[in-house]
Amino acid sequence: MSLTGIIATLPETLVIFLKTFIAVNILMLHIAYVVYFERKVIGHMQARLGPMRVGWHGLLQPIADGVKLFFKEDIIPSSADKPIFYIAPVIGVVAAISSLAVIPMWDGFSIADLNIGLLYILALSSIGSYAIILSGWASTSKYAFIGSLRSAAQVISYEIAMGMSLVGIMLLAGSASLSDIVTAQQGGVFNWFIFKQPLAFFVFVMAAIAETNRAPFDLPEAETEIVAGYFTEYSGIRFGLFFMAEYAGMFIMSAMAAVCFLGGWSGPIPGVPGIVWFLFKVYGFIFFYFWIRATLPRYRYDQLMSLGWKLFIPLALANIVITGLVKIL
């Protein structure tokens, strides 16, 4: 690109930079409070109060936790593969947060309205599995190694089911852009794709839970079997980065569910701003995550893999065929 070209686009670049910076920081705040939300919800479901000490009803707890992680000693095994060990959590964070770029938050606003938005999110979630496998490999610890293998196999298996369940959405919307998908669901609650694609929604929800390594599919970090899985050897703020990536991934998957199946920023009551509907749906879905975690016991690894390959992939394929057939008739 020539110099004049760069100068001509400089003001716009600056605006985009500021917009992105603000959006990412708001996301970080949301992630911090999703952790608080989880501890409160799980606490109350187990007849406890959850965090109560730091601030009013523990409201400053996430900040205290964050500060604490910065001040923790960083212990790296002496046999670890240092450069890879350093870079793995950063890859995880970049892959998780960058997915935010294509999410349409209200009418006409997303950081980058790509026409391949869905593909972009699926691609980034694949890159996230690099963080898992590299961290397990670099730790030179048996628990971390086994955890990363399990996790990588799980993530790629469920990624297929997730990708195929979203094909039905693309068939109906005729586009892979997330804002087009929301536009295709306008005009009443019954135009939401959850009613037209219930099977795809089911597969998507299960795959999203497995993809983000959450209970009941949290095999990679099954404490009773392999300590903490792939981040066993990570401590201090490096552990914090993995934690951040996990919750960011959860937020993005909830946003995907809201956008692809629940009508995104559209809502049944006129006059309410789109961002309110969007956040309401996202937090509803996040609550569902916690509810599932508090309710269901963990799957066994062989059950998990056969569930993915023998049930969800055929279901997603059948959904594609049915959707194609219905659309042609």
Near another protein in 132-151, by CB under 8 A? 137, 139-146, 149
Burial 122-137 (b: 16+ CB within 10 A, else e): bebbeebbebbbbbbb
Given 32, 156, 199, 315, the residue binding another protein (CB under 8 A): 156
Distances (CA, A) of 269 to 187, 193, 207, 273: 11, 18, 31, 10
Looking at the chain, how many residues does it have?
Answer: 329
# residues contacting another protein (CB under 8 A): 93
Residue 163 touches another protein, criterion: CB under 8 A? yes
**What's the min distance (Å) between Cβ of 319 and another protein?**
11
Among the residue ranges 39-47, 182-190, 284-292, 307-315, the one whose residues contact another protein (CB under 8 A): 307-315
Residue 94 touches another protein, criterion: CB under 8 A? yes
Residue 322 touches another protein, criterion: CB under 8 A? no
Residue 118 touches another protein, criterion: CB under 8 A? yes
- State how far the Cα of 38 lies from the Cα of 42, in Å rounded to an integer: 6
Residues 6+ apart with CB under 8 A from 210: 154, 155, 157, 158, 217, 304, 308
Given 36, 120, 193, 265, the residue binding another protein (CB under 8 A): 120
Residue 104 touches another protein, criterion: CB under 8 A? no
Pick 42 or 184: Cβ nearer another protein: 184
Answer whether 304's CB lies under 8 Å from 210's CB: yes
Residue 325 touches another protein, criterion: CB under 8 A? yes
**AA letter at 201:** F
Sign (positive or negative) of CA dihedral 177, 274, 35, 293? negative
Residues 6+ apart with CB under 8 A from 2: none
| Binding track over 213-242 against another protein, x by CB under 8 A | --------------x----xx--xxx-xx-
Pick 42 or 199: Cβ nearer another protein: 199
Residue 97 touches another protein, criterion: CB under 8 A? yes
Given 71, 83, 224, 271, the residue binding another protein (CB under 8 A): 71
Provide φ and ψ at 106, rounded to 5°: -145, 180
Among the residue ranges 53-61, 172-180, 214-222, 258-266, the one whose residues contact another protein (CB under 8 A): 172-180
